[in-house]
Structure 1
Amino acid sequence: MSELAENAAASGEAPTSFGAGILKRADLLVGGGVLALMMTLVMPLPPWVLDSLLTFNIAFSLLMLLVTINVRDAAELSAFPTILLFGTLMRLGLNVASTRLILSGGDAGSVISAFGAYVVRDNIVVGLIVFLILVIIQFVVITKGAGRISEVSARFVLDAMPGKQMAIDADLNAGLIGADEARARRQAIAGEAEFYGAMDGASKFVRGDAVAGLIITSLNLVVGIAVGAAGGLDFGEAAERYSRLTIGDGLVSQIPALFVSTAAAVLSTRASGRQSLSQNLIAQIGGRPRATATVAVMIFALAWVPGMPRLPFMLLASLMLIGWQFTRGADGPRALLERAGVLEDDGPASKPADEVDPDDAAKQAEEQEILELLSVDRISLEIGYRLIPLVQDKQGTGILDHVANLRKRIAGTQGLVLPPVRVKDNVRLEPGAYRIVIGGDEVARGVIEAGSYLAMDGGQTTGKVKGKETIDPAFGLPAWWVSASDRDEAEILGYTVIDSTSVLVTHLSEVLRAHLGDILSRDDVKDLVENVKRVAPAVVEEVVPDRVGYGLLQQVLRNLLREGAPIRNMPAILEALADQSERTKDVDALTEGVRQRLGRSLCEQHADADGILHAVTLDPDVEARIAHAVGSGGPAENEAQSAPIGPAWLRELVERVEGSMSEASRGGREVVLLVRSNVRRFVSELVRASLPKVAVLSYGEVTAAGSIETQKIVRMDDDPS
């Protein structure tokens, strides 16, 4: 039993299971109600049933009116367009049922008779005029106005959707909001658009209901008099009886319809706020006590005009003075709401501009500036003023859109969710320059020509392009900036043409991929572990934090990311650490053990479309010499293997590796450097400085590879040391 049920039982009250049961069976209840509404169109109803349904219709309409007055946001009542449809069907069904009773027997129940007798009394003409006035008010004023407001609101909401979506994306990429808040704001915008679009269509139901009510009333009056005259009544008696019934039937239908159409108009015209409509109305009207006092004095003066009735004027002036007394001292609606204690906390209250102390404002601005200087963005992109138009555009191809896609790609391939990239202008940069900053330190910069295109020679060009010679900032290759008019010519000549925004984002992508290890923080590691805990709680409880702390795990993951190894399979990484951590706490040794566990992923990452891994290997004597030098090769078999290695020998080795990799990768194939496990770490660090794009794998990591093709073998024929 829940705590709520226990408290209810202790207090002698019944648990709230009845309401829960209604909600669980809501689909059945609503479906049955709609079916019953449809049956009223074809089935005759007894007068007492019609009385009950008419009473329910009046109560339901009043409920809708009061609910719309008390909602704080129109979107809170998103089901209102559907409610309008059901309400229209219910009134039409009741009209058909009452018409059947009126024309068949001249008796439509007590409710219709009471309405007709009360309004008509002794004058049928007055009753008809009152009914027609109600119809005109609903049809011409309220229904038509509500329909127009719904139409305009829907148009403006739909037109504003792209701008709101771009604003959310900008806040998300700037780090002002999180992914969950951005998702909630997008859902709110979509719900708002759907609501106003549905209200635009639902307003047609109200208009059609008014027209149908007028037609049905006319038919009841004309045909009823004819049926009564044909049934033996004289014309005067038939006119009086059926006029009363017709007017009563029309009033019973039109008054609830007037309530519902008023509710629709209120819902369409109200603005969003944290208070209900009633509170906002009273606060906004009574929040200016000077106006209330002025009007009270004027009304009091009008009471003394000769011929004017003094009592109502004096009474109204007194009431307004009482209202002024209660609101005296309030300056604006907010102050009145605060005094009443109904103002909800929606953030720091801001003073009006004329009440802000200039000294206080200056101090707050200075403190805010100091706090901003203390904050360091994890990733930021600073741009010159000419690049500002590239940040966001209507086509969705701006820097912010590319950055959002980049974060998704890195999360999908590397398994790391990048922190938001803050894009900001820097007046100290050149107009077309930009720089990439990680953790407050600049890691790369470049210059692009906004509005131009970068033409790169892919090796198959047939001529010289006209443009400004430059260097591709992402890969360091020769390129040319060409104008938009020369873009087609450059493509015809065989150049790869890229727009300036893509050039900048590609450079950003390469830089971020190269620095993923530096970007990874302990908070990121904790988030990764929490995600694993949801799918593999056992391994997390075994490893983190008792055997492997967050700091040690962060170092292992950083080593993996720095060499391009993905960390998506966190359960496998933690399992490997669980097996290795009992024998050693050395970060490099743990990293090598994890890499062997991720061997299949590493092979798939570097294999071609046929699953073949193309590799360049080292001569066994070279590997043995390196292993002996780093202390992982055991006793040397010969003098050559035990000879020391110096800087010149290592430099020569790197040059030969670079040459072999260049020859093996001709034709666009991806090639890895394959070495023994005990020297992989040393060779990787040695090669990475000159060849950062080369992946160094060990034989233990490629056991899961489908096929390995050795393209070149690096040998050291001479000994420059």
Structure 2
Amino acid sequence: MKFKEISVLLAVLLIVVMMVIPLPTILLDILLIINISLSITILLVGMNTKEPLDFSIFPSLLLLTTLFRLALNVSTTRSILSHGNAGHVVATFGEFVIGGNPVIGFIIFLILVIIQFLVITKGSERVAEVAARFTLDAMPGKQMSIDADLNAGLISEKDARMRREKVSHEADFYGAMDGASKFVKGDAIAGIIILFINVIGGFIIGMTMMGMDFSQAASTFTLLSVGDGLVSQIPALLISTATGIIVTRAASDGNLGDDLTRQLFAYPKLIYVVAGCIALFGLVTPIGILLTWSIAGLLVFAAYKMQKAKEKEAEQLEEVSELPMEEENSPENVLNLLQVDSLEFEFGLGLIPLADASQGGDILDRVIAIRKQIALELGLVIPIIRIRDNVNLESNQYAIKLKGNEIAGGEIFLNHFLMLVPEEEDHGILGIETVEPTFGLPALWINDEMRRKAEIFGYTVVDASSVITTHLAETIKRYAHEILGREETKQLIDKAKEMSPSIVEELVPSLLSIGQIQKVLQKLLKEKVSIRNLSVILETLADWAVFTKNPDYLTEYVRQSLSRQITKQLSVGNMIQVITVNAQVEKIISENLQETEQGMYLTLDPQLIQQLVSSLNETIGQVMKVGIQPIIMTSPAIRMYVKQIVGRINDEIPVISFNELESNVEVQNIGVVHFQDVGVVTA
């Protein structure tokens, strides 16, 4: 444990001990001076904070200082009533500060308590209560504003996280201040009660136990009690003032001193008016011109200096404001127009309500959920998706763009729902015929009345926002390998370095460059293999990069290292149903591989490739007819080449090798691909 932590703990324990164990007067003097010093420090810090959160520990500190003062009150009361003496500090406040007159001291004490209790504490308490309520009410709007800025690309993920934390901390701070201000109020009340106890108790003890007469007991214990009250209430007044300053501070770029001088004296011409009024007082009242005209002269001089300073500042601002006009036609400004966003979602003007939170739109929230979903499923951090309206689109159309090029789009009807239409079934539901944009299924846009009817019959019905976000999510998954650039790859590697620094240091850049690792990750993403387990991927690359730099071969080694992940992704329960490739096909493919400087290439005769494509197509079709997801399994040596051929039919069909399956999974062969004919076995 650090020394600072130990010292704070010891200080709190000392406060508790002070209430139980009598302290010597010299120690009381030291602690009273520390109390005054601490209160002045808190007041000055409160005046120099720019925002309330800069002094976020203040509520807890307020509680501790209040407890410290009360503990000092207990100790000084014990010393006053036991010995008729509470040290030099209390005696000084009782004799020197109030001139040895207990009546004057008592009045001053009451004035301080009234100022603290009725003015500062009451006001601070009310401001803290209102600020806490307003801050809590404004939290949802602030959170939505942050999300909107994040999705619009105005701020980064880190900035959004920091702003969310600030909003949360503000609510916590004002809530804590609302409660902590009650301690200050209680402290003021306790100070009054303790004073009367000291006076009455001291008067009784002095006459009955110490042999004093009435006047001597009254004078001695009243002076000591009032001195004790003053030495306690002055620090309490300073901290109460700091409380008021903290809770009434609005966010600004300067501290209290900067804001006062900048805002209070923002209008120099008004200072001239004030100077004239003061000078007039000297003429028409008995105050005299010597005093009033001296002050008026100082005000005129100050106003003149402030006016000159403002004119100079205005000239500087005018010079600065001209700079953007000069830059407007600069080559650098034109170059900024060439920047292309990685992902863009554009929509027609009629779809603006879907993105406008004030109209109930939730597209922005759904996009945030998509980015989290992609990160969990594929291990890819999607860059900021730029969301904007496009007047060139039809009113109810939307488009998804990747690096400036449209890759997907669709048509949405507001206040309608999309119903997936079963093939060749008379459902009797009326709507606008369309095609479901994500999977290309026949569908209908139906109104709310028809939606209730469709749900009664058990048809799948989704709202417009769900249609868009589903299409966006699937499109991102389909093009994930293109989204992953070198910059995104470097960010992933830097993140992995925090967890596995030795692996990254061994691999990059001595064995593989960022670009080579990017190619491997792109190949995995293209076949829907998650790269979230990046440490295993990098460790495998470090093992095999000493033998080959070919990204195709490295990808195959990585896939085998991810066998548990691939098996879990494709198997159902503990079983996986696959289509296998005939041994003759595997042999022919193996014999027609040609090695070049760039790697191995398949040089199969076009007629054989056409026969193989036909066989694959027929086998896959028969498997899909019985409702089974086709998965093709081959030997590790030819997996990548079979995948190239299967990609001509359907790039979404997974192709795996024997080495990518866990030994405990049951493999069921439901089809075999031949060159001439097709044999299919269905379970």
User: Are residues 531 and 65 of structure 1, via their aligned partners in 2, closer, same or farther at CA, if it must alter by over 3 Å?
Assistant: closer
Of 121, 133, 156, which aligns to 2:99? Answer: 121
CA-to-aligned-CA distance 1:50-83 (integer Å, 9 cap, x gap): 3222222222111111121122222111111111
2:584 pairs with 1:655:
no
2:651 pairs with 1:673:
no
Counterpart-to-counterpart distance in 2, 1:595 and 1:478: 36
State the partner residue of 2:32: 54
Does the 8 A contact of 1:69 with 1:266 survive in 2? yes
State the partner residue of 2:272: 293
User: Are residues 438 and 91 of structure 1, via their aligned partners in 2, closer, same or farther at CA, if it must alter by over 3 Å?
Assistant: same
CA-to-aligned-CA distance 1:671-713 (integer Å, 9 cap, x gap): 3022344543343233324323211223343465622111122
Report SS of the residue matched to 1:709: strand
Aligned amino acid, residue 553 of structure 1? I
Q: Which deviates more, 41-50 or 572-581?
A: 572-581
Report SS of the residue matched to 1:556: helix
State the partner residue of 1:18: none
- What residue ranges of structure 2 are gaps of 5+ in the alignment? 596-602, 679-683
State the partner residue of 2:462: 498
Q: Which deviates more, 60-69 or 540-549?
A: 540-549
Aligned amino acid, residue 416 of structure 2? S
State the partner residue of 2:600: none
C-alpha displacement at 1:262, in angstroms? 0.4
Does the 8 A contact of 1:606 with 1:670 survive in 2? no
Q: Which deviates more, 264-273 or 93-102?
A: 93-102
Counterpart-to-counterpart distance in 2, 1:391 and 1:480: 23
2:294 pairs with 1:315:
yes
User: Are residues 564 and 451 of structure 1, via their aligned partners in 2, closer, same or farther at CA, if it must alter by over 3 Å?
Assistant: same
State the partner residue of 1:183: 161
Write the mapping of 1:392-471 to structure 2, written as runs, cut at 5 A: 393=357, 398-457=362-421, 463-471=427-435
Aligned amino acid, residue 528 of structure 1? L
Counterpart-to-counterpart distance in 1, 2:305 and 2:331: 40
State the partner residue of 2:577: 614
State the partner residue of 1:152: 130
Does the 8 A contact of 1:603 with 1:704 survive in 2? no
Write the mapping of 1:183-202 to structure 2, written as runs, cut at 5 A: 183-202=161-180
TM-score (structure 2 length as normaliser): 0.88
Counterpart-to-counterpart distance in 2, 1:323 and 1:704: 88
CA-to-aligned-CA distance 1:442-490 (integer Å, 9 cap, x gap): 0000112234332235789995444433221111112233334544432
Does the 8 A contact of 1:465 with 1:493 survive in 2? no
Does the 8 A contact of 2:585 with 2:675 survive in 1? yes
C-alpha displacement at 1:132, in angstroms? 1.6
State the partner residue of 1:483: 447
Aligned amino acid, residue 58 of structure 1? I
Does the 8 A contact of 1:470 with 1:481 survive in 2? yes
- What residue ranges of structure 1 are gaps of 5+ in the alignment? 1-22, 340-348, 633-640
State the partner residue of 1:142: 120
2:212 pairs with 1:240:
no
Aligned amino acid, residue 3 of structure 2? R
Does the 8 A contact of 1:559 with 1:591 survive in 2? yes
User: Are residues 542 and 661 of structure 1, via their aligned partners in 2, closer, same or farther at CA, if it must alter by over 3 Å?
Assistant: farther
Of 594, 607, 610, which aligns to 1:645? Answer: 607
User: Are residues 379 and 235 of structure 1, via their aligned partners in 2, closer, same or farther at CA, if it must alter by over 3 Å?
Assistant: same
C-alpha displacement at 1:590, in angstroms? 4.2
Counterpart-to-counterpart distance in 2, 1:516 and 1:128: 79
Counterpart-to-counterpart distance in 1, 2:143 and 2:157: 13
C-alpha displacement at 1:399, in angstroms? 2.0
C-alpha displacement at 1:577, in angstroms? 4.4
Counterpart-to-counterpart distance in 2, 1:45 and 1:575: 66
Aligned amino acid, residue 96 of structure 1? V
Aligned amino acid, residue 615 of structure 1? V
User: Are residues 28 and 560 of structure 1, via their aligned partners in 2, closer, same or farther at CA, if it must alter by over 3 Å?
Assistant: closer
C-alpha displacement at 1:567, in angstroms? 2.4
Counterpart-to-counterpart distance in 2, 1:642 and 1:145: 88
User: Are residues 672 and 454 of structure 1, via their aligned partners in 2, closer, same or farther at CA, if it must alter by over 3 Å?
Assistant: same
Aligned amino acid, residue 525 of structure 2? L
State the partner residue of 1:102: 80
Counterpart-to-counterpart distance in 2, 1:370 and 1:644: 50
State the partner residue of 1:686: 645
User: Are residues 205 and 661 of structure 1, via their aligned partners in 2, closer, same or farther at CA, if it must alter by over 3 Å?
Assistant: same
Does the 8 A contact of 2:486 with 2:515 survive in 1? yes
State the partner residue of 1:87: 65
Counterpart-to-counterpart distance in 2, 1:24 and 1:500: 57
User: Are residues 577 and 218 of structure 1, via their aligned partners in 2, closer, same or farther at CA, if it must alter by over 3 Å?
Assistant: closer
C-alpha displacement at 1:199, in angstroms? 0.8
State the partner residue of 2:185: 207
Counterpart-to-counterpart distance in 1, 2:605 and 2:205: 124
Does the 8 A contact of 1:154 with 1:196 survive in 2? yes
Aligned amino acid, residue 111 of structure 2? I
Counterpart-to-counterpart distance in 2, 1:428 and 1:239: 92
User: Are residues 554 and 127 of structure 1, via their aligned partners in 2, closer, same or farther at CA, if it must alter by over 3 Å?
Assistant: closer
C-alpha displacement at 1:434, in angstroms? 0.9
Report SS of the residue matched to 2:607: coil
State the partner residue of 2:599: none
Report SS of the residue matched to 1:381: strand
Counterpart-to-counterpart distance in 2, 1:538 and 1:55: 55
Counterpart-to-counterpart distance in 2, 1:623 and 1:30: 75
Counterpart-to-counterpart distance in 2, 1:267 and 1:658: 71
2:341 pairs with 1:377:
yes
State the partner residue of 1:637: none
CA-to-aligned-CA distance 1:539-594 (integer Å, 9 cap, x gap): 54554434433333333322222122222344444455456556655544444444
Of 390, 394, 401, which aligns to 2:354? Answer: 390
State the partner residue of 2:260: 281
Report SS of the residue matched to 1:184: helix
User: Are residues 113 and 202 of structure 1, via their aligned partners in 2, closer, same or farther at CA, if it must alter by over 3 Å?
Assistant: same
C-alpha displacement at 1:516, in angstroms? 1.0
Report SS of the residue matched to 1:443: strand
Does the 8 A contact of 1:288 with 1:330 survive in 2? no
State the partner residue of 1:256: 235
C-alpha displacement at 1:198, in angstroms? 0.9
C-alpha displacement at 1:379, in angstroms? 0.5
Write the mapping of 1:507-526 to structure 2, written as runs, cut at 5 A: 507-526=471-490
Does the 8 A contact of 2:613 with 2:646 survive in 1? no
Q: Which deviates more, 187-196 or 291-300?
A: 291-300
Aligned amino acid, residue 401 of structure 2? V
Counterpart-to-counterpart distance in 2, 1:270 and 1:567: 48
C-alpha displacement at 1:365, in angstroms? 9.6
2:152 pairs with 1:174:
yes
Counterpart-to-counterpart distance in 1, 2:375 and 2:587: 39
Percent of counterpart pairs with the same letter? 40
Report SS of the residue matched to 2:78: helix
C-alpha displacement at 1:196, in angstroms? 1.4
Counterpart-to-counterpart distance in 1, 2:395 and 2:99: 85
State the partner residue of 1:711: 670
Does the 8 A contact of 2:620 with 2:630 survive in 1? no
Aligned amino acid, residue 257 of structure 1? A
Report SS of the residue matched to 2:186: helix
Report SS of the residue matched to 1:331: helix
Does the 8 A contact of 1:612 with 1:707 survive in 2? yes
Does the 8 A contact of 1:41 with 1:96 survive in 2? yes
Aligned amino acid, residue 472 of structure 2? L
C-alpha displacement at 1:115, in angstroms? 1.7
TM-score (structure 1 length as normaliser): 0.84
Write the mapping of 1:517-596 to structure 2, written as runs, cut at 5 A: 517-537=481-501, 539-577=503-541, 585-596=549-560
Counterpart-to-counterpart distance in 2, 1:103 and 1:540: 73
Q: Which deviates more, 590-599 or 271-280?
A: 590-599
Q: Count residues in correspondence.
A: 670
